[in-house]
Amino acid sequence: MRFDTEAVRGRSKPDPTTGAIIPPIYQTATYVLEEIGVDKGFDYTRSSNPTRQHLEEHLAALEGGAHAIAFSSGMACADSCMKLLSSGDHVVCCDDVYGGTARLFNNLMTNYGVEFTYVDSQDSENVERAIRPETKMVWIETPTNPLLKITDLDAVGKITKSNGLLYVVDTTFATPVFLRPLDYGADLVLHSTTKYLSGHNQIIGGVLVTNRSDLFEKLKYIQKSVGAVPSPFDSWLTIVGLKTLHVRMQRHWENAEKIASYLEKHPKVSKVVYPGLQTHPMHEVAKKQMSGFSGMISFELQGGLDAGKKLMNSVELCLLAESLGAVETMITHPATMTHAEVPREERLARGFEDGLVRLSVGIEDADDLIADLEKAFEKV
């Protein structure tokens, strides 16, 4: 099946008992056994649940993967990946990562003897140079949060394969509509399903997708052991969201391109970062590996931090809120919101200025969003 059909139908069939088109919500903690040691495929919802299984099969299909594991959050996915490592292991990580990921790595995992080296992975040679004898994993976000850096996944994939390293790619910003990292050698693909995949600001969730049965079994064991599972209802809401993913992502992309072009020409804007713009330093790589450029834009104003704050406090249609990837347009100040725990000197060193504004472009009418921004710019 083509992707759009896969998004709508997944791998599920109508419910055999009732004929229901949408999978039921199996809101149960436990299941009756047929006899000692004999179940009907489920024994306890921490281990597995029919609704969650429908979601996992759907997500695996969209990524072109053999296995998917749905988690209670994107950070639960990241934490479970870290549990594949041991004290003394080393990870090479792209230098622009989600603030929650940086918090997990720097403030928690280092307490367990795991070391991290951060590099600008836009140049794949930086990744190769950072590899040490104790390196076990390469961790990449693309596009990154919030600077929208692009990594050549194929180039890094060849490096990880030649060095026998575990290759983890977070493509929450792209979604499988526009990018499927398994095609470029990734061992694990991570998404926060909170964002575009569910798409409606309703749930917290995450997923890991892989073609490797050994990783699937290890991660299922970790998940069962720590209980990082989504509820049946959250799983069901995500299934419903996936059915319109391809349609929503097309509109996110169309709106973002229009707004990025508007911002690039605005006299009060000093810098616009969007992979779909030819001015993006990795535009050609993005064009090569992505079939669309999604709905995330970052930009800076001429007046720096003060101007950015005035803009964000003046918008009305654009919602000042954490998170991203929903049908509603949301505007964020990463330095004080999503990345508040990243030390300022680290942010500045990688080009992450205090006044950076992140815009998650929704699926409203683009002209209405531009009018809202223009009205706010008048107060800057």
Question: Confidence band (pLDDT; 50, 70, 90) for 231?
Answer: very high
Question: Confidence band (pLDDT; 50, 70, 90) for 11?
Answer: confident
CATH number of 246-377: 3.90.1150.10
State percent of the chain over pLDDT 90: 90
Residue 101 has pLDDT above 80, yes or no: yes
Strand partners, 68: 209
DSSP element (H, E) containing 74: helix 74-82
The predicted pLDDT at position 203 comes to 98
Residue 305 has pLDDT above 90, yes or no: no
Phi, psi dihedral angles at 108 (to 5 degrees): -120, -55
The predicted pLDDT at position 337 comes to 82
Average pLDDT over residues 98-115: 96
DSSP structure class, residue 35: B
Q: 201: left (phi > 0), else alpha (psi -120 to 50), else beta?
A: left
Domain with CATH 3.40.640.10 in the chain: 3-242
Average pLDDT over residues 119-144: 98
Residue 340 has pLDDT above 80, yes or no: no
The predicted pLDDT at position 339 comes to 82
CA distance 141 to 106: 16
In the structure encoding, which two tokens stand for residue 220, read together?
């299922």
List active site positions. Answer: 46, 98, 170, 195
120 in helix, strand or coil? coil
Question: Of 343, 339, 319, whose CA–CA distance to 329 is shortest?
Answer: 319
Domain 3-242 has CATH 3.40.640.10: yes
Question: Confidence band (pLDDT; 50, 70, 90) for 350?
Answer: confident
Average pLDDT over residues 64-70: 98
Question: Confidence band (pLDDT; 50, 70, 90) for 344?
Answer: confident
Mean pLDDT estimate for the chain: 96
CA angle, residues 335, 339, 342, in degrees to nearest 5: 95
Domain with CATH 3.90.1150.10 in the chain: 246-377
pLDDT, tens digit, 9 for 90 and up, residues 73-94:
999 999 999 999 999 999 999 9
DSSP structure class, residue 184: G
Question: Confidence band (pLDDT; 50, 70, 90) for 131?
Answer: very high
- DSSP labels for 3-33? HHHHHHHTT----TTT--SSPP----SB---
Residue 133 has pLDDT above 90, yes or no: yes
Phi, psi dihedral angles at 216 (to 5 degrees): -60, -45
